[in-house]
Structure 1
Amino acid sequence: MAAVLVAALLGGVVGYALGRPDPIEASVAQLRQADAERDAQQIVELTELAHRTGEQLAPIVRGLRQDAEAGRVPDRAQVDAWQQTMRQLAAQFADPPSGMTATNVARGGLRGAVDQAAVAVDSVALALAGPPAGRTELMTLAARQATLAASTWSVAATQLDQINVDAGHGHQHVHLDVGDVEGALGPDGSAEGTGG
């Protein structure tokens, strides 16, 4: 009986010694946990930023495209306001924090869309400053650039929706309300906050 008890105790000690993580494994696990917590917070912050940015970006993209389709160039005050807004929106993405790859991809896509929309607005400014003969072509180019911005944003918004679901926040739709955009991805139809 005593031999069985000693063997059981010895087996328990050996099993504990072999099964517990060594200090390196424990440190790696702690780092991974800290990264996951930091990324979860970054996802929340990026989603809030995307909502705010989208609310300001969508009217510019929509207005620019409508002007181009109607064959008109907006006035100088409108273009100046758009350029000022685009500078502010771009500045929000100027110094991004380092996050997990999926979050960095979403942030990079949103930033790329904002940068592309800024180029579209700059093209409108060129159309306005240039001779009337070339304005239609420049407005057409600006509309194409705005459409690419909306399409790029849609991909990043889809990525952001997925990482929100993966992080347990549920669906978060930040797609731009700019009308139909060929090649753009739309929200998946799930209710906000569900699926997390």
Structure 2
Amino acid sequence: MGAGAAAAALALCLVGGLIGFAVGQPSPTEAGIAQMREANAKRDVQQIIELTEMARGTADQLSPILLAIKQDSDAGRTPEASQVHQWQQTMRQLTEQFDDPPSGTTATNVARGGLKSAVEQGGIAVDSVALAVTSPAPVRKNQLALAARQGAQASVAWSIAAAQLDQINIDAGRGHQHVYLDAGDAEGAFTPDGAAEGADG
């Protein structure tokens, strides 16, 4: 092969390599989209961490209230007005946590919305107890029973949201996170799946 032919072949190889490199490189638009997706994924993981921590704190305060409502109704016992007033204050604080939620993925928004709905239902149950406290004795038992039913529905709603919260933690690589209420058995409520905390992440 002559020197000219060799030089031409080398030039073709260089050009082919450059074309292949250029073709393999993402365009500025593709690179920008990839960076945006990576940023969104990191943001969502942080939201999941914060939502899970908030849910744990909320469950710690909500569980004893719903359990007390159930036990009082079962026993035909009317709680003290001062106790109910304290419950109402707690429920307002728990509900306010969900004001102005950040924008997240659909899955995270569903978990957050489910937890919020459960807390709001719990607040209705407490308000029903407050109404019973000031009602005549003949109707008080039925009102307390209604409050207990509302509390049970709050437990069911929370359990569904807790299952969603568990799933988004798994999807985010954090493993199982079981944030269920300890408020007595409620018919139809989801229960933890038995997997260890943090497993399968």
Report % sequence identity: 60
1:135 aligns to 2:136 (yes or no)? no
Q: Which runs of 5+ in 2 are unaligned?
A: 1-5
Per-residue displacement from partner, 1:10-51 (whole Å, max 9, x unpaired)? 222112222221111111111111110011011111110011
Per the alignment, residue 194 of structure 1 pairs with 199
Per the alignment, residue 63 of structure 2 pairs with 58
Q: CA deviation at 1:136?
A: 1.4
1:47 aligns to 2:52 (yes or no)? yes
Per the alignment, residue 31 of structure 1 pairs with 36
Q: What is the TM-score when the length of structure 2 is the normalising length? A: 0.94
d(CA) in 2 for partners of 1:19 and 1:137? 72
Per the alignment, residue 149 of structure 2 pairs with 144
Q: SS of 1:42's equivalent? A: helix
d(CA) in 2 for partners of 1:29 and 1:82? 47
Per the alignment, residue 16 of structure 1 pairs with 21
Q: What amino acid sits opposite 2:145 in the alignment?
A: T
d(CA) in 1 for partners of 2:148 and 2:16? 74
Per the alignment, residue 167 of structure 1 pairs with 172
Per the alignment, residue 110 of structure 1 pairs with 115
User: Larger radius of gyration, structure 1 or 2?
Assistant: 2
Q: CA deviation at 1:96?
A: 1.0
Q: What amino acid sits opposite 1:188 in the alignment?
A: D
Off by >3 Å, runs of 4+ in structure 1 = 1-4
Per the alignment, residue 3 of structure 2 pairs with none
d(CA) in 2 for partners of 1:179 and 1:114? 16
Per-residue displacement from partner, 1:51-92 (whole Å, max 9, x unpaired)? 100000000011101111112221101101110110111111
d(CA) in 2 for partners of 1:102 and 1:4? 56
Q: CA deviation at 1:4?
A: 3.8
Q: CA deviation at 1:3?
A: 4.0
Per the alignment, residue 121 of structure 1 pairs with 126
